[in-house]
Structure 1
């Protein structure tokens, strides 16, 4: 029998999606599931984006340019300028989601066995992107006790070797919801400049910042133009996860030229989705104001309810719509599956994402879960109550 590749065997399962079969069985048994496991917002997509597709006049659904349509890229650049990020459309490559942007970035700046340093816990698919690119992740652990703040810069410097090519951050963070400060970004900027590395920032949650805090982009930092690569996406900003449109942004012309070759190999990003995404850029500020107000309310409700449970630690997020909670258990993978297979309150249960999959260091985060607060307050309160009742009888 022919064998699969070693790379394929090493590809990690999604910690978010691997529990889906158990959830489907629970639903077939008539259970209601509160999905705290996946960052799929329940916020409506802006009508302006949906209408752009409904009212299109295309007669041929043709390829666009490999780097994305010029009209869309010009409009993206204008959006960034409004956010104090000075780039032009030639600094932007439109991609099939932020995922492809990261793959293009890895492929453009790293060879097989090169290293990228990432604060963990981090977005679980970074593990998959690194495996498929033949790149090694070198983790630096941030701690729940510090609210998952940037680890001391000395910890990064200890890990830099001749193989190190980049530092990657997610800001605000998935799964932690941590928002890096301007000072923390400046420390990283100084470090990558000193060691001639790239600084990749996944900024797909830029709009989602709370408590008066402001997002500071790596693209705003002066003197690191050749080092900085920004990853972005429409998925969360406009509740358009299914559009699969993102972009890679850099003022480093060689990075853009190289990434374009990867873009040409897959021909072009999706045409209809670019039409919707271009229209979404005209979404009024009121939409975001209302969304932020809703998420702050949900975050406050979630954290308040979780803190009522004895033995739980929870990091308060300042951005995105996730938080990490540490439970008084040994293995969150087992607990998450048990919730779906063997537990309910009035025929209702909860689906969570075990946090170990957001680390690359073995046996770290085993008793942690990521919660996405993408449900209405009433559902969040019910879901936390189910967790509370489950922890009373869970024995492992």
Structure 2
């Protein structure tokens, strides 16, 4: 029998999706599964985005330009300028989701066995993209006790080697919900300029910042044009995860020209999804204010309910819609599977994402879970109640 690649064998499973078969089996038995495991918002997609696809007059569904249509990219640039991020259409490549933007960025800045430093815990698929690109992830640990703030800049600097090509951050963070301050971004900016490497910022949750805190984009930093790369997406911003439209943004012309060659190999991003996403850019600011208000309420309820459970430690999110909770258990992977296979409260259970998959350092996050608060407030209360009862039973 032919063998598969070592790269394929070393490709990590998604901690978010690997438990899906157990959830599906539970549902087939009539169990209601409350999903805390995945960042799929229940917020309604803006109507104008849906109508743009429904009411279009396309007769031939053609390829678009590799970098996305000029009209769409111009409108994206206007969105950034409105957010005080001065870019033009030529600084943007439209991608098939933020995922493809990340893959293009890694392939463009790094060769096989080159290194990218990432604060952990981080979005689990960074591990997968790095494996697929032949890039080594070098983690720098942030701690729950510090609310997952940026680790000391000295911790980054001592990890830089001749093979280091970039530092990658997610701001606000998935899975932590931490929002990097302007001062933290400035420290990173100084470091990448000093060592002549890239700073890649995954900013897909830019709109979702709480407690009167302001998002600090790396492209607002003076003197960082040659170093800064933004990963962005419509998925979370407009509750359009299924559109699979993302953006790669940089004022570094050589980077954009090189990334475009990777984009040409996949021809073009999806046409219908670009139409929907272009229309979504007309969404009024009131939409985001209402969404933020709802997410703050959900966060507050989630934290308040979790704090009632003995032995749980929680980091307080300042953005996005995730939090990391440390449970009084030894193995969150086993606990999460047990929840789906063996535990019920009134024929209901919960699905969580074990946090070990959000770390690159072996052994970290084993007793942590990521919770996505993308459900209505009553569902969150119910889910946390079930989680509390489950911990009593599991530990008993």
TM-score normalised over the length of structure 1: 1.00
3-state DSSP of counterpart to 1:394:
helix
Deviation at 1:150, TM superposition (A): 0.2
Aligned counterpart, 1:371: 371
- Per the alignment, in what secondary structure is the counterpart of residue 366 of structure 1? coil
2:27 paired residue number: 27
1:1-396 aligned at under 5 Å gives the runs: 1-395=1-395
The Cα of 1:286 is off from its aligned counterpart by 1.1
Q: Report how far residue 395 of structure 1 moved.
A: 3.4
Residue 177 of structure 1 aligns to a residue whose secondary structure is coil
1:127-186 superposed Cα distances (whole Å, 9 cap, x missing partner) = 000000000000000000000000000000010001000000000000000000000000
Partner SS, residue 154 of structure 1: helix
Q: CA deviation at 1:393?
A: 1.4
Q: Secondary structure at the match of 2:264?
A: helix
Q: Structure 1: how far apart are the matches of 2:109 and 2:37? A: 32
Q: Give unpaired runs (5+ residues) of structure 2.
A: none
Deviation at 1:104, TM superposition (A): 0.4
SS at match of 2:272: helix
Residue 251 of structure 1, CA deviation: 0.4
Q: Which runs of 4+ in 1 moved over 3 A?
A: none
In the aligned structure 1, how far is the partner of 2:65 from the partner of 2:266? 11
Deviations 1:295-341 (A, max 9, x none): 00000000000001010000000000000000000000000000000
Paired residue secondary structure (1:267)? coil
The Cα RMSD (Å) is 0.6
The 3-state SS of whatever aligns with 2:395 is: coil
Deviations along 1:37-94, whole A, 9 cap, x unmatched?
0000000000000000000010100000000000000000000000000000000000
Q: Distance in 2 between matches of 1:31 and 1:263?
A: 43
Number of equivalenced pairs = 396
| Residue 361 of structure 1, CA deviation | 0.4
The runs of 5 or more residues in structure 1 that have no matched partner are none
Shift of 1:285: 1.0
Q: Secondary structure at the match of 1:176?
A: coil
Partners in 1 of 2:288 and 2:212 — Cα distance?
A: 14
3-state SS of the aligned residue for 1:231? strand
